[in-house]
């Protein structure tokens, strides 16, 4: 696939995320071999390779377009990249639509995955023993900096009337004069990261009796840390208050953290048939998670290998007499790539010694076969996550007066994102499932769950906390916590037409018009997910986000709706330099109540056996019921979840149109040919 995304349109017309040429190519190969030594001894070998190559480039411009006077004439940008990396900077001008390029392009992400597996199976009567070894090799070649061609802001501050600034000044005038309020440029090299993943396992399926089967297993996981092809990794060393590359006395070895050699995961399962229609099953297992974190957090973006350049000009200063960086000076002088000064930059920090993330999963279920080809399952499912990755900024100062930077624990740096495995999670749920296999024209699946999920942060991206000295203060319902959910999925062939209850002997036109109709539906009824109430006025003065104070009373209203979903009177702005007392995710947002219905018309075609034409009418959100979103989600403004604003307590957005989810009614017509 090699599309070209056009440049940005004005805001009402929209535009692509990444303008310019974009390509995505994939390659995959798999080979397998099975050898039967005897009727009771089997060996299997599998090997695979996959490659995904994503490349996004800015719209083509002449080499050195940003630097040279023949182009834009802002020096200090193009020299950090090859000619093909050149693009147009982003110019944010108050009162004018975005000008220039945008998005973190050029970007390159090429992933290579190699896998080999060896599995052996031995049957010993009542015991079936399996053992084997899995080997993965993962490689990522990536470059994707935030603003590779630069970004500049013109606010009109330099052309306003100093004596009476209100209503004066022009962002466009500032731009024409070359007086930018701020500018930024990020420089990041292409890096090649890689790691090994080993897995050894043994499992015994023991058929104790005709009614009882027991499964016992043990898996040993060994996953090495990420390394970089040319050792372009660096880590923060708190005791030295500085960043050091790998391979130095401060960061020995070629990675930021050490391998854990004791990741053993036992598993146990059992199945017991009470009778020929009722089965009880139970299981418990311990699993490790080696989910890849963002390549931006592996230490490759740390100085001295990568850097960010910034320009900050105050409109109160006189450019003629004060220290000022005009647009014509740009980001000169150039800094040597690989020798960036860490002062004032934001960095990431990995703790060298920490356990791998793990989860204990457990379940017990009772399954019963009912009349009419129906199966009912009632189950308990639970999990306990430990050592989950959080990413707090540990360089946030304590709330208090004065400038923020000098009060930071490590004043040399801006933010320090600490990738630490200190989170935990809990999930407990009742799950009831009823399934009817297709018979008499009807099939359905009904799934109900009543559950609760708790954690400190639900994703690594949201893994920060309000107060880095009190992680437990952020323990609350997970962002995705849905307490009750009922999903119905059914399909019904109308009893009309040849061989059916009505029109059993129809042929010709009658059958063609009135026969072969089928109804399908997916019906979703769920409670909402939770969200936090934040303070419209941040009183911390430390750069952290702040939740509101809970002052008592019911946080919900008696008849919640989009005009007022929660009670702002139950919350207040925290006192000066105090963290908010309200918990994380204490208000439950609107749920989902949606029915999707489709009508199919099936027309057999006699030209070939099994050939048929299917006409479809599909209606999503049949009754056009608004599915409102939580504040700050899917395009909704965050003001609805913030106190002290005119929009406090309101909901102002419904659905997720970008992904065609929970939207207003949509009707889709389709035709499908089977042959």
For the stretch 348-360, pLDDT in tens is: 999 999 999 999 9
For residues 89 and 190, membership in a common domain is answered with yes
User: Is 362 contained in some domain?
Assistant: no
Please answer whether residues 271 and 281 qualify as being in contact, where contact means their C-beta atoms are separated by less than 8 angstroms.
yes
For residues 446 and 566, membership in a common domain is answered with yes
* Total number of domains constituting the chain: 2
**pLDDT above 60 (res 338):** yes
Q: Name the H helices within 263-374.
A: none
User: Is 407 contained in some domain?
Assistant: no
**pLDDT above 70 (res 109):** yes
Q: Which two tokens stand for residue 410?
A: 């490590």
- CB neighbours (10 Å) of residue 570? 22
To the nearest whole percent, how much of the chain has pLDDT over 70? 91
Please answer whether residues 174 and 181 qualify as being in contact, where contact means their C-beta atoms are separated by less than 8 angstroms.
yes
**290, 303, 291: which is closest to 233 by C-alpha?**
303
User: Is 400 contained in some domain?
Assistant: no
Where does a domain end: 286, 318, 340?
Answer: 340
Residue 484: enclosing H or E segment and its boundaries?
Answer: strand 484-493
Where does a domain end: 285, 316, 340?
Answer: 340
**What is the average pLDDT across 450-458?**
95
User: Is 428 contained in some domain?
Assistant: no
Q: Which CA distances in Å does 210 have to 126, 229, 269, 367, 377?
A: 10, 55, 16, 17, 21
For residues 177 and 307, membership in a common domain is answered with yes
Predicted local confidence at residue 11, as pLDDT: 39
SS3 for 348? Answer: strand
Non-local CB neighbours of 365 within 8 Å, separated by 6+ positions:
280, 281, 282, 377, 378, 379, 380
pLDDT: is 584 or 509 the higher one?
584
Q: Which CA distances in Å does 479 have to 3, 274, 346?
A: 35, 39, 27
User: Is 131 contained in some domain?
Assistant: yes
Q: 462-516, pLDDT tens digit by residue? A: 667 899 899 999 999 999 999 999 999 999 999 988 888 888 888 888 888 888 8
Please answer whether residues 268 and 284 qualify as being in contact, where contact means their C-beta atoms are separated by less than 8 angstroms.
yes
To the nearest whole percent, how much of the chain has pLDDT over 90? 60
Sign of CA dihedral 527, 528, 530, 532: negative
For the residues of 237-299, what is the DSSP string, one character each? EGGGTEEEETTSSSS-SSSSS---S-EEEEEEEEEEEEETTEEEEEEEEEEEE-PPPPGGGSS
Domain that holds residue 627: 433-451+474-674
For residues 308 and 439, membership in a common domain is answered with no
Residue 377: enclosing H or E segment and its boundaries?
Answer: strand 374-390
Q: What phi, psi does 454 have (nearest 5°)?
A: -130, 140
**What is the average pLDDT across 414-432?**
94
Predicted local confidence at residue 659, as pLDDT: 65
For residues 316 and 438, membership in a common domain is answered with no
User: Is 462 contained in some domain?
Assistant: no
Where does a domain end: 340, 369, 392?
Answer: 340
The residues with which 71 forms a beta bridge, in sequence order, are: none
User: Is 376 contained in some domain?
Assistant: no
Q: Which two tokens stand for residue 605?
A: 């075609």
DSSP summary character for residue 175: H
For residues 443 and 554, membership in a common domain is answered with yes
pLDDT: is 380 or 109 the higher one?
380
For residues 295 and 439, membership in a common domain is answered with no
**pLDDT above 50 (res 195):** yes
User: Is 40 contained in some domain?
Assistant: yes
**462, 507, 504: which is closest to 480 by C-alpha?**
462
Average pLDDT, the chain: 88
- Determine which of 100-114, 384-398, 641-655 has the lowest per-residue pLDDT on average: 100-114
């Amino acid at each position: 696939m090699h599309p070209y995304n056009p440049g940005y349109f004005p805001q009402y017309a929209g535009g692509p995320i990444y303008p310019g040429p974009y390509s995505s190519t994939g390659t995959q190969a798999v080979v397998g071999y099975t050898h039967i030594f005897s009727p009771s001894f089997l060996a299997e070998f599998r090997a695979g390779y996959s490659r995904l190559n994503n490349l996004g480039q800015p719209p083509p411009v002449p080499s050195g377009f940003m630097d040279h006077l023949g182009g834009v004439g802002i020096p200090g940008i193009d020299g950090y990249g090859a000619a093909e990396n050149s693009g147009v900077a982003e110019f944010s001008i108050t009162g004018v639509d975005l000008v220039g390029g945008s998005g973190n392009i050029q970007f390159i992400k090429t992933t290579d995955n190699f896998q080999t597996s060896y599995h052996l199976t031995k049957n010993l009567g009542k015991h079936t023993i399996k053992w084997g070894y899995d080997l993965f090799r993962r490689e990522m070649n990536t470059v994707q900096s935030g603003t590779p061609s630069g970004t500049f802001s013109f606010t009109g501050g330099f052309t306003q009337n100093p004596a009476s600034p209100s209503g004066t000044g022009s962002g466009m005038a500032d731009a024409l004069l070359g007086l930018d309020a701020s500018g930024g440029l990020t420089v990041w090299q292409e890096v090649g990261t890689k790691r090994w993943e080993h897995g050894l396992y043994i499992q015994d399926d023991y058929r104790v009796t005709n009614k009882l089967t027991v499964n016992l297993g043990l898996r040993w996981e060994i996953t090495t840390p990420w390394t970089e092809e040319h050792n372009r990794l660096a880590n923060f060393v708190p005791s030295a208050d500085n960043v050091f590359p790998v391979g130095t006395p401060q960061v020995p070895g070629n990675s930021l953290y050490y391998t854990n050699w004791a990741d053993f995961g036992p598993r146990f399962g059992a199945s017991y048939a009470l009778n020929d229609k009722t089965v009880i099953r139970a299981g418990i297992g311990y699993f490790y998670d080696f989910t890849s974190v963002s390549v931006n957090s592996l230490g490759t973006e740390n100085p001295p290998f990568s850097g960010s350049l910034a320009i900050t000009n105050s409109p109160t200063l006189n450019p003629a007499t004060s220290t000022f960086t005009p647009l014509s000076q740009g980001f000169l002088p150039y800094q040597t790539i690989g020798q960036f000064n860490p002062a004032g930059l934001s960095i990431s920090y990995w703790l060298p010694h920490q356990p791998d993330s793990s989860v204990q999963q457990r379940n017990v279920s009772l399954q019963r076969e009912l009349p009419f080809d129906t199966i009912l399952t009632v189950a308990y499912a639970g999990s306990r996550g430990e050592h989950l990755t959080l990413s707090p900024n540990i360089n946030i100062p304590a709330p208090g007066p004065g400038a923020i930077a000098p009060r930071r624990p490590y004043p040399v740096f801006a933010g320090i994102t600490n990738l630490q495995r200190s989170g935990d999670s809990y999930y407990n749920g009742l799950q009831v499932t009823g399934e009817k296999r297709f018979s008499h024209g009807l099939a359905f699946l009904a799934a109900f769950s009543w559950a609760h999920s708790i954690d400190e942060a639900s994703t690594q991206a949201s893994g920060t906390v309000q107060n880095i000295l009190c992680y437990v203060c952020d323990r609350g319902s997970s962002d995705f916590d849905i307490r009750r959910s009922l999903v119905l999925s059914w399909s019904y062939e109308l009893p009309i037409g040849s061989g059916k209850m009505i029109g059993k002997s129809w042929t010709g036109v009658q059958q063609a018009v009135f026969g072969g109709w089928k109804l399908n539906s997916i019906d979703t009824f769920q409670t909402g997910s939770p969200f936090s109430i934040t303070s419209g006025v941040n009183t911390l003065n430390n750069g952290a986000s702040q939740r509101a104070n809970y002052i008592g009373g019911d946080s919900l209203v008696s008849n919640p709706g989009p005009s007022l979903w929660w009670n702002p009177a139950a919350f207040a702005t925290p006192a000066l330099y105090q963290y908010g007392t309200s918990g994380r995710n204490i208000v439950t947002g609107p749920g989902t109540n949606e029915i999707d219905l489709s009508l199919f018309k099936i027309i057999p075609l006699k030209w070939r056996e099994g050939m048929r034409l299917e006409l479809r009418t599909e209606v999503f959100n049949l009754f056009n019921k608004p599915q409102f979103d939580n504040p700050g989600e899917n395009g909704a403004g965050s003001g609805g979840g913030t106190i002290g604003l005119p929009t406090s307590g309101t909901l102002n957005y419904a659905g997720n149109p970008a992904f065609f989810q929970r939207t207003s009614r949509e009707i889709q017509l389709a035709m499908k040919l089977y042959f």
